[in-house]
Amino acid sequence: MSLEQGFKDALACWASGVCVVTTKSADGLMYGLTVSSFSSLSLDPPLILVCIDNRNRFPGM
């Protein structure tokens, strides 16, 4: 299965609800947020879009 098809298949299973988004900062710290705003942005490259309030308590994220 291609990366593009796998990305499409994964997003097709996403109905609604919340999603946990994680990232790692340049200095190695791990961050995670629960978001309800989650959307497919691009297939090539495979990208998602999440909306995060810039007043959140993790400005380094």
Give the global pTM: 0.53
Tally of CB atoms within 10 A around 18: 11
Beta strands in the chain (DSSP E): 19-24, 30-35, 38-42, 47-50
Tally of CB atoms within 10 A around 35: 13
- Give pLDDT, residue 60: 61
Q: Domain residue spans in the chain?
A: 3-50
User: pLDDT for 14-60, tens place per residue?
Assistant: 777 788 888 888 889 898 888 888 888 998 998 988 888 777 776 66
1 contacts: CB under 8 Å, gap ≥ 6:
9
